Chains A and B, each alone.
Chain A
Amino acid sequence: MLLEILISALLLVGSFFLLVGSIGLGRLPDCFMRLHGPTKSTTLGVGGMLLAAVLSSIPDGLSLREMLIALFLFITAPVSAYLIGQAGLRRRLPSRAPLPEDFPD
C-alpha cells in the first residue's frame, strides 16, 4: 500500500515536470530561453518516472535497470543542450537577451 502511494506520487511528479518542460518549449519566446525547459525537466521528470518503474518492480524481484536510462539521460542532457545552444549562437538566432558580439567558439 505504502509502495503504491510512493509509485503514484513519483509518477505524478515525473509527468508534471515533463509537462512543464514541454510547456516551456511551447511558450517561451526565443530559442535560448526554450533550451531551459527540456534540459531541466529531462533530469527530474524522467528520473521520477524511472524511479517509479524501479519501485514497481519490487514485488517480483528488484530490478535496477531503469536507473541506467536515468543515468544516461543525466549525462547527455547538458551535452545536447550545449550543442543546440552552439547551433543557435552560430546562426545568430533572434534572442531577447542581447547576443554577445563575438562569442567564444
Chain B
Amino acid sequence: MLTAALYIAFISIAAAIAICMTRLVRGPHAPDRVLAFDMLYTNTIALMVILDIYYSTSVFFEAALLIALTGFVATAAFARYLARGKVMD
C-alpha cells in the first residue's frame, strides 16, 4: 500500500512540476516566472522526500535542505531585482 501511495504521490508531483514548467515558459511577466521557479523548487523538495522514503535512505535529505536554502535566496534575489533594479542597497 505504501508503494501505491508513493507512486500516486510521485505522479502528482511530476504533474505539478509540468504545470510549473509551462508557467515558467509562458510567463507572461517576469514575476510570474519567479513565482513558477519558487513553486518548482518546492515541488523538487517533495520529490526528494518521496525518493528518500522509496529507497528508505536519507541521502537525499542533504540535497533537499540545500535546495530549500538556495531556492529561497534565489527567489528573494530575483524578486528584489525585479522590484528595485538592484539586489542590495
Contacts and interface: CB of A to CB of B under 8 A. Distances in A.
Interface residues of B, number: 49
Contacts of A21: 16, 39, 42
B5 interface: yes
B12 A19 contact: yes
Nearest to B36: A25
Contacts, number: 159
A73 B46 contact: no
A96 interface: no
A52 to B, nearest CB: 7
A26 B22 contact: yes
Given A15-B13, A25-B23, A83 B2 contact: no
B83 to A, nearest CB: 4
Interface of B: 1-2, 4-6, 8-10, 12-13, 15-17, 19-20, 22-23, 29-32, 34-36, 38-39, 42-43, 45-46, 49-50, 52-53, 56, 58, 61, 64-65, 68-69, 72, 75-76, 79-80, 82-84
Interface of A: 4-5, 7-9, 11-12, 14-16, 18-19, 21-23, 25-26, 31, 34-35, 37-38, 41-42, 45-46, 49-50, 52-53, 56-57, 63, 65-66, 68-69, 72-73, 76, 79-80, 83-84, 86-91, 93
